[in-house]
Structure 1
Amino acid sequence: MTQPAEHAGGRARTPIDRIGATVLNELVQSIVTGEFGPGDLLPPESVISVQFGVSRTVIRETMKRLQEKGMITVAQGRGTHVNPSTSWNVLDPSVLSAMISNDSTLGVLDDLSVVRSALEAAMAAAAARTVDDDARARLREDLDAMAECVDDSAAFREADLQFHRSVMALSDNALAENIARVLIKHAVGSDRFTGVDPAHAFELTLAEHEKILAAISSGDAEAARIAMSEHILGSWTRRRLPSKKRS
């Protein structure tokens, strides 16, 4: 457990990190949901300080973090303005989680699936170009693990993710892998992303993974790219929940 930091005089205090976490998360939520829209001026530090019952030091630190996330611009003498979503660091965990949790139209998850499919398709193609016997055995082992737990949804989903992680690792593209892992990590915890699996969904998923494995194993980069892209987009389409239309 994190111990309280101490003032120079020796008196213990709670770290700003812990005090400001709730404030930061609530402000991120307020911006993502549009309570404060692009171009809006945030209230002064003194007002936010009173609103949350924390010191202005905490609010100042929170503003720095929001600025690091690309959500606000602080201009001396002109106040703090909210930035449009195109300026946000959408790979920041708190920003991405807030976007997904407030994604009533499923537009964010639609876009996430498109980006993920492009990244993982490129990584599957790269894996096919350098495939060897060890890589084939690794992917076959992952696929067999999926087949063994087809009646256990939680175990099957984890085995599914492990197959994708293996393809990513075999691609030797650390940047694409890191981005894809962030997207997956913050999507899989959402009920909207999980959706509702249709009948025989896991059998369909197994067949799609078999196709990916066959393409990679044969060294056919283009077939691997297509198979991975079709699997990710098709899987999302199958389980996607009905949603509100985008405005």
Structure 2
Amino acid sequence: MQSDRTAIPGNSGPIERHARLHEQLAADLAAAIVAGRWDAGGLVPTAEGLATHFGVSRTVARETLQALAAAGLVSVRHGKRTIVAPMYEWRFMGDLVRRAVSRGQVSSKVAADLWEARTALEESAITWCIERADSGYARRLRAVALEQVELTRQTPPHLDAITACDLRFHFLIAEGSDNRIVVELINGLRRQLVPTWAMGLVSPEEHREAAAEHLAIADAVTRRDVDGAIAALRGHLRRAAGRDLRPTEPPCPSQGSPR
């Protein structure tokens, strides 16, 4: 059974009593997850634990967990064990995640620095992928890229699924380095960049271009072409950063940004 002593990030104690308590509580916890104050895989308290911690009813606590699960922010594993979900399961086009992302937006200068650091780390990671990973890894990377390409051809495009593929692709690059420090650094940088890319304005053509760039990277990894993989990755991230850092109008619900 889950412990109700699980650490809960964000606001502590009773929440303010105004419209729809479970929505307010879900928004606060979603913001904590998106900001990285609650790590992926972290144990989520039971409804009873949340109710006690925030001074709300168990009904409100259960509705809060249901809202977080519907947004892909938490998932139930092994029976009733609930954990914080990995980023690639988040439903970025849903209201709850979009609001959480918006609350945590970073400045353009910080975002530019984060992109620069991320590019340097992923270039090292892709090199180690080719040096250390087996052929099965290359097949998995290419399969994710191909899935993303197919998704971008659908009309209308399934943006949550495209985003999930994009996140899995870059997670595989980090994981393939076989360096846990690099994995944590890259995932930390990506988490900080969520506000810029998840809220960006990207055309269907740009979604298709990003998917094709992923496939080019995967093909270079399959060939064990280090220089080709680095060049393809560098170009992809440069264009992705350019999309994120350009001035934008407020996003509409049907748009998102691939990375």
- TM-score normalised by structure 1 residue count: 0.54
Q: Is the 8 A contact 1:123 1:171 kept in 2?
A: yes
Q: Which has the larger radius of gyration?
A: 1
Q: Secondary structure at the match of 1:172?
A: coil
Alignment of 1:108-127 (within 5 A): 108-127=110-129
Describe the SS at the equivalent of 1:195.
coil
The answer to whether 1:163 aligns with 2:166 is: no
| Aligned with 1:210 (options 187, 210, 215) | 215
| Contact 2:126/2:173 (8 A) holds in 1 | yes
| Paired letter, 1:148 | E
8 Å CA contact 1:113, 1:236 repeated in 2: yes
Change (3 A) 1:237 1:132: same
Specify every segment of 5 or more residues in structure 1 that has no aligned partner in the other structure, as ranges: 5-16, 20-24, 26-96
Query: Where does structure 2 lack aligned partners over 5 or more consecutive residues?
Result: 6-10, 14-27, 29-99, 249-259
Q: Find 1:181's aligned residue among 169, 181, 187.
A: 187
Which of 101, 106, 115 is matched with 2:104 structurally? 101
Secondary structure, counterpart of 2:247 in structure 1: coil
2:199 maps to which residue? 194
Distance 1:113 1:3, change over 3 A: same
Distance in 2, Cα, partners of 1:3 & 1:139 = 39
Distance in 1, matches of 2:141 and 2:197, equals: 28
Aligned-residue offset at 1:199: 4.8
Q: Given that residues 144 and 168 in structure 2 are in contact (C-alpha distance below 8 angstroms), is that contact kept between their aligned partners in structure 1? A: yes
Contact residue 193 and residue 240 of structure 1 kept, 8 A: no
Deviation at 1:153, TM superposition (A): 1.3
Separation of aligned partners in 1, 2:105 and 2:158: 29
Say if 2:111 and 2:196, in contact at 8 Å, map to a contact too.
no
1:139-194 CA distances to partner (integer Å, 9 max, x unpaired)?
A: 12211221232211121011111011112111111111101111212322x15653
How has the CA–CA distance of structure 1 residues 170 and 3 changed in structure 2, closer, same or farther, with 3 Å as cutoff?
closer
CA distance in 2, matches of 1:136, 1:3: 42
Aligned length: 157
What's the secondary structure of 1:18's corresponding residue? coil
* SS of residue in 1 equivalent to 2:12: helix
Letter in structure 2 aligned against 1:116: R
Distance 1:195 1:114 in 2: 18
Alpha-carbon deviation of 1:121?
A: 1.2
Give the equivalent residue in structure 1 for 2:247: 242
Equivalence for 1:233: 238
The share of aligned pairs that are identical, in percent, is 22
Per-residue CA deviation, residues 18-71 of structure 1 (Å, 9 max, x unaligned), is 35xxxxx9xxxxxxxxxxxxxxxxxxxxxxxxxxxxxxxxxxxxxxxxxxxxxx
Read off the aligned partner of 1:120 and give its amino acid letter.
E
Among residues 145, 148, 166, which one is paired with 1:146 in the alignment?
A: 148
Shift of 1:206: 1.4
The answer as to whether partners of 1:135 and 1:170 remain within 8 angstroms in 2 is: yes
Kindly indicate whether the alpha-carbon contact (under 8 Å) linking 1:215 and 1:223 is maintained by their aligned counterparts in 2: yes
Tell whether the 8 Å contact from 1:109 to 1:193 is kept in structure 2 after alignment.
no
- Alignment correspondent of 1:39: none
How far, CA to CA, are the matches of 1:157 and 1:200 in structure 2?
15
